[in-house]
Amino acid sequence: MGAILTFYAFSLAFGALFLSNGVETYVSMIQSLNLGRLTTFLVKIILGLPFAYHYFNAMRYIIWNTARMLDIKKVYETARQAAIAAVVLASNLFLYYDSAINTACHCHL
């Protein structure tokens, strides 16, 4: 997942440096594709999941730095909890931003 985040960062930097149009142009291009709700959901999950995953695993790392939850049973338990929390957070971000966009533009994507 770290490689995916690095790819995102380099893609955004490349786009900011070399693409002549503003962000609005690319957002309107994506909206003109008329992607279905399922496709939009999957794309947003693919983009948001690495961030959520790293966020919750950073919490695990901080807990480990305090010398807690280091036995193997707790390590596996917190890994499972972090994965579930990452999926829930990424899904909720999609649902929140999807409803916010639909409310703002009075449309249904």
Integer Rg of the chain from CA: 18
In this structure, whether the domain defined by 2-105 belongs to CATH 1.20.1300.10 is answered with yes
CA gap 106, 16 in Å, rounded: 29
pLDDT at 66: 93
Provide the pLDDT for residue 77: 95
Binding site: what residues are annotated?
Answer: 54
Mark the ranges of the chain whose per-residue pLDDT is less than 50. 108-109
The per-residue pLDDT for 109 is: 47
Measured CA distances, 95 to 50, 53, 85, 87, 89 (Å): 17, 18, 15, 12, 10
Residue spans of the domains in the chain: they are: 2-105
Q: Maximum CA pair distance of the chain?
A: 53
Binding site for heme: which residues? 54
Dump pLDDT digits (tens) for 61-91: 999 999 999 999 999 999 999 999 999 998 8
Token readout for 49 is 């999941």
